[in-house]
Structures are given as C-alpha cells and as structure tokens.
C-alpha cells in the first residue's frame, strides 16, 4: 500500500497533447500496458535519461531520434524493459517507432520510444504490430489518467499531478504522470515521467527548465540505491496557450513557469517514494551546514543505509544508526565538524554539538519514530547550504516483491 497516497482520478488535459492506451498483452493480462502520445506539430520537447552505462535499447533510440528530429509522438510500454537485448532490442525499438510513424503519418525519427519492466527479455513485437493502429484511432486529450495506469509495473497506484499558473493573464496548464516504485536512485530521473504544458517555450530554455527541476526533485529521491537501465523524463511544450513565447531565462515569466514546473515534478518525485515497494513510511532528510554537494552526500548516505531504513520500519528510535551514517558519509573532513553535528527528528532534538541531548527521553524518540511521515534534520557544520532527499523505509514486503518479481 502506498503511504498516504491515493490513485489519481482526474488530471487537466493539455491543449496539443492526445493520448491513447490499450491492453496489448506485452506482459500483463487484462490491463492496459501500451501508451501512445501524439503532439501538436508546433510542440517543443526536452528530455533527460538514465546515466546507467547499460542503458536500454529504447533509451538509446530515443536519444538518437531526439538529436536528429523534432519529436511528435511518444510510445511507452510496460512489462518489458527491452534492456540487455542486444541488436535485436535496438531493431525492435526502431520497429516500434516505424509502426507509430506509419499510423500517424510521421517520420520514424519523430517518434521517441520508452519501455519499463523486466530486463533481458525481447519485446513481443508482434503485439505492437497489432496494437498501434488501434491506439492511433483512440487518441484523446482526456486520457492522462488512463496513461498513468498503463505505465505502471510494481506501482500500487497511478501517479500524476496537474498545476495551473497565471502568466500574462492567461491560465497555463502543466500536467505530468510518473511511474516508479523500486529500482529508484538519483542518476537522472529514476523512473519514467512524462510532463506537458501549453506554454510556448523555446526548446533550449525548455531543456534548461527540465534539467534544473529534475536536479532538485527526481534526482533527490532514493528507495533502494539501484539506478534503472530505462529511466527517462520528457517535458513537452505545445505553445497552445495564448501568450507570447518565452525565450529568455531573464524573462520574469520564465521564473514563474519554473516555480510551477519544480512544484509539479517535486510532487511526482515524492509520490514515487510514497509508493515505494513495500513502503510503510515516508522520510524527508534535510542536511545543512556544508556545501550543497556535501550535504546531499550525507543525506543520501542516511537514506541508503539499510540499518537506518529497517529501524524506521520497526519504529525503533535507534538514532545511533543515523549518527554513524553521518560519520561515514564520503565527504572531505573540512565539510563536517563533529562538534557541530545535530539531529532532530520530527521536532524532537536528539543530538546537539555531536552528543546526546541531556534532557532527551526515549519516549520522545519513540513517538517520533512511530509517525508515518518522518522528517530528519541534520546539521554537519556552521554553513548555510541545505540539501533534501526523500526516501522510504525498508520492509519485509520489499524483499517479497522483488523476490517474486518475475514469477
């Protein structure tokens, strides 16, 4: 069960974007597992992808197509990652693009493919041949929720978000969907995410917007420390909102758009953690006092510690595990002052000046660890930079889910 997160039931459509889904039988029986997204011809697109060296065939083809043509369609399948599949995997990804192109009267290079699911199995390409023509006939601007459901793998709920912001007196819409539950760790985006807006934004600025937003959101979550072979996040701007184009990052309208985008992607990122495999708790870790990179390194060390995560699952106020994680974080000695270290959990002060607070009571720590939502604030020195990482606990169910994943 997701941690205080319900499946979405409604998202705002974005003018210039149409979606369709179907049950193609790629891996799952009796559920949608294939998505087609069609874009208005005036759209611009930004893309970030996994840094895993064993990137999947669709990741490779999407990067290739993105660099040589203007994307006008996306095709996404769940249940099969098409990763570790060699040249045949590349050929299958190319055929998926060709099928979509033929159905929508596009060039194959104008199609970006995305896949998620089991690694090391070839795509059942015949099922794409059967499904794509049907998808092309079912495109509709209102199918965002259906698409969010269709891209799920071990997710327990469909995840998405819409925000609207007024720019030049016009209502600008941003809508996004995301899938991700396990194999989550920052190294670009750590899941599949698709976001669209009707704002008119020049492509270089759109790419900058996405990279900035991802860096402080999707790159700040971790479930299990594993970076996927298939991660990707795409941002589409259709330009259908009736405002003049945003082409300069000094434009005050750009800042307003960027704030809205960051809020949306941060929500998507945190919802991935709330739906983490086997999760029973949501954990926010704030580390301050060193430079940003050092603070984030400390936060990740805490978030990735199996001892910390299992203590949180057990509601065991074993704060020493957090202190030990801080001490072993891979940062230089000038970034941490052990006499400045403090740890506060849900407003319960436990460590100050590097040692246990004199009036700390175990009952207070227990009350903090009993909470479903934990906020761990750590200070490592006297600086003023802050980094935030979101993570989950580590439960028995996480092991069961991943042990049974292919069965």
Name which of 219, 232, 155, 160 is nearest 192 in CA terms.
232
- Decide if 154 contacts 182 (C-beta within 8 A): yes
DSSP β-ladder status, 386-392 and 373-379: unpaired
Cβ distance 350 to 356 under 8 Å? yes
Residue 312: C-alpha distances to residues 192, 274, 305, 343 (Å): 27, 14, 11, 15
Q: Is 185 helix (H, G, I), strand (E, B) or coil?
A: coil
Active site residue 21: no
10 Å CB burial of residue 338 (0-12, 13-18, 19+) is: middle
| The pair of three-digit structure tokens given for residue 120, joined into one six-digit string | 């090391």
- Pairing mode, strands 282-288 and 373-379: parallel
- Helix and strand numbers (H, E) in the chain are 11, 16
**Radius of gyration of the CA atoms of the chain, in A:** 22
Other C-beta atoms closer than 10 Å to the C-beta of 244 total 10
Please, are residues 151 and 179 in contact by the beta-carbon 8 Å criterion? yes
* The two three-digit tokens of residue 237, written as one number: 């701007």
Q: Pick the catalytic residue: 50, 85, 190, 267?
A: 190
Closest CA to 188 of 219, 142, 144, 161: 219
Alpha-carbon dihedral sign for residues 261, 264, 270, 272 = negative
Q: How far is CA 130 from CA 97, 219, 245, in A?
A: 14, 37, 40
The three-state secondary structure class of 114 is strand
Rounded (10°) CA dihedral 393, 163, 50, 29: 70
Q: Which two tokens stand for residue 187?
A: 């190294």
Output the six-digit token pair for 70: 């203007």
Residue 124 burial class via C-beta count within 10 angstroms: exposed 0-12, middle 13-18, buried 19 and up: middle
Catalytic center residues: 190
């Amino acid at each position: 069960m997701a941690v205080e997160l319900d499946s979405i039931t409604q998202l705002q459509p974005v003018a210039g974007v149409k979606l369709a889904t179907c049950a193609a039988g790629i891996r799952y029986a009796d559920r949608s597992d294939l998505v087609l997204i069609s874009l208005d011809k005036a759209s611009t697109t930004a893309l970030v992808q996994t840094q895993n060296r064993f990137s999947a065939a669709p990741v490779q083809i999407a990067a290739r197509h993105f660099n040589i043509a203007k994307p006008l369609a996306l095709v996404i399948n769940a249940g099969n990652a098409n990763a570790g599949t060699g040249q045949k995997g590349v050929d299958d990804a190319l055929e998926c693009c060709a099928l979509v192109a033929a159905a929508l009267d596009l060039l194959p290079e104008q199609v970006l493919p995305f896949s998620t699911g089991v690694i090391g199995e070839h795509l059942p390409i015949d099922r794409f041949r059967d499904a794509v023509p049907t998808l092309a006939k079912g495109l509709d601007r209102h199918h965002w929720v259906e698409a969010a459901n269709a891209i799920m793998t071990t997710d327990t709920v469909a995840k998405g978000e819409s925000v609207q912001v007024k720019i030049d007196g016009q209502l600008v819409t941003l809508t996004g969907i995301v899938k991700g539950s396990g194999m989550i760790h920052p190294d670009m985006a750590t899941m599949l995410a698709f976001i669209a807006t009707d704002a008119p934004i020049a492509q270089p600025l759109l790419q900058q917007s996405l990279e900035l937003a991802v860096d402080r959101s999707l790159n700040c979550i971790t479930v299990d420390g594993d970076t996927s072979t298939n991660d990707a996040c795409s941002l589409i701007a259709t330009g259908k909102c009736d405002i003049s184009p945003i082409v300069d990052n000094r434009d005050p309208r750009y800042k307003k758009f960027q704030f809205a985008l960051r809020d949306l992607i941060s929500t998507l990122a945190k919802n991935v953690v709330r739906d983490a495999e086997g999760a029973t708790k949501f954990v926010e870790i704030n580390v301050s006092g060193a430079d940003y990179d050092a603070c984030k390194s400390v936060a990740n060390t805490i978030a990735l510690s199996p001892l910390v995560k299992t203590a949180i699952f057990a509601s065991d106020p074993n704060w020493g595990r957090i202190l030990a994680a801080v001490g072993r974080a891979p940062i230089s000695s000038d970034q941490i002052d052990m006499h400045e270290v403090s740890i506060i959990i849900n407003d319960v002060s436990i460590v100050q000046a590097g040692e246990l607070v004199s009036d700390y009571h175990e009952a207070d720590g227990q009350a903090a660890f009993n909470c479903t939502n934990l906020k761990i604030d750590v200070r490592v020195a006297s600086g003023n930079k802050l980094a935030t990482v979101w993570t989950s606990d580590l439960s028995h169910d996480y092991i069961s889910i991943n042990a049974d994943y292919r069965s």
